[in-house]
Structures are given as C-alpha cells and as structure tokens.
C-alpha cells in the first residue's frame, strides 16, 4: 500500500482539523506529500432578493480571505509537526473542486472530516464527504 499524494479538504471546521491531523499521521508513516485545499462557494443568489455587484465581490473577497486564513493555520499545524504542504484556495462547489484538484494533481488519497461547517449537527455524513465517497476517482478517508 502506498499513498504518495494526500489531499486534505479543509474548511476550518473541527472535523476538518481532525482529518488534517490524521493525514499528518499518515504522511509521517508513509512519507507522502500533503496538499491542503479549501473551496469557497460562489455567492448564492437564491438567498436574497436584491444585491449589488460590488456586494457580491466583497462577499467573495471576504470568503477567500477567510479560507486563506484557515489554510495558514493548517500550514502552521503541519509545520509544527515537522512536515510541509501545498495549500490552495479554489472557488466552486466543494466536492467537485476537490475531485478536480485530486485528478489534476495526481493525488491518490482524499482525506476529509465526516462533517464540516454549516451542516446539521445530527447529520452523520455531510454532503461534501458523501459526494467524494460516491464520485471521486481516488480512495477517500472520512475521519470521524
């Protein structure tokens, strides 16, 4: 068994942090390369009646900088464990962007938490995790 490139989906949630630690543990054992990716969803028009284009731009800028901050924190954790990682913020639908990243970068394992931000507490498996398990071309580790 060998995983050479491990992709971690990181949304800043506790569950994704736990997934990151598991990925770090794996990378230490098998020596794999870590890729940490956060995906920002585009503005959801269905949630408002009226919005100005500048407000949408501001919303998206804020979301991107929030995700960049999460990724910096994640990278600090990785470096604190004596490893390094590639980080990237992408925009789009999270599971699709993560799968696309994994395909394009030759990642052979995707590690995510079982839930994230914005999900229901009682939900066992979030939609991003569930889509990855169903549709990704790679092995998926869902950390509980």
DSSP 23-73: HHHHHHHH-PEEEEEEEEPPP-GGG-S---HHHHHHHHHHHHHHHHHHHHH
- Choose one: 26-34, 51-59, 72-80, 121-129; the region binding ligand ADP (CB under 6 A): 121-129
Q: Does 140 bind ligand ADP (CB under 6 A)?
A: no
Among 116, 131, 138, 141, binds Mg ion (CB under 5 A): 116
- Choose one: 35-43, 47-55, 71-79, 102-110; the region binding ligand ADP (CB under 6 A): 35-43
Closer to ligand ADP by CB, 24 or 52: give it. Answer: 24
Q: Which of 41, 143, 36, 28 is nearest to 91 (CA)?
A: 41
In angstroms, give the least distance from the CB of 4 to ligand ADP: 20
Q: Which of 124, 143, 142 is nearest to 133 (CA)?
A: 142
Q: Say how far apart CA 49 and CA 133 lie, in whole Å.
A: 35
Total residues binding ligand ADP (CB under 6 A): 23
In angstroms, give the least distance from the CB of 142 to ligand ADP: 8
């Amino acid at each position: 068994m060998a995983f050479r490139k491990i992709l971690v989906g990181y949304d800043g949630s506790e569950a994704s942090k736990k997934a990151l630690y598991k990925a770090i543990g794996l990378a230490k054992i098998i020596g794999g390369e870590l890729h940490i990716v956060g995906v920002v969803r585009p503005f959801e028009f269905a949630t408002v009646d009226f919005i100005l284009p500048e407000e949408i731009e501001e919303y998206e800028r804020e979301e991107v900088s929030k995700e960049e901050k999460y990724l910096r924190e994640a990278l600090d954790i990785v470096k604190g464990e004596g490893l390094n990682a590639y980080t990237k913020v992408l925009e789009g639908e999270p599971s699709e962007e993560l799968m696309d990243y994994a395909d394009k970068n030759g990642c052979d394992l995707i590690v995510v938490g079982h839930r994230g931000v914005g999900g229901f507490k009682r939900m066992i498996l979030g939609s991003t995790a569930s889509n990855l398990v169903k549709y990704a071309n790679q092995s998926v580790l869902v950390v509980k």
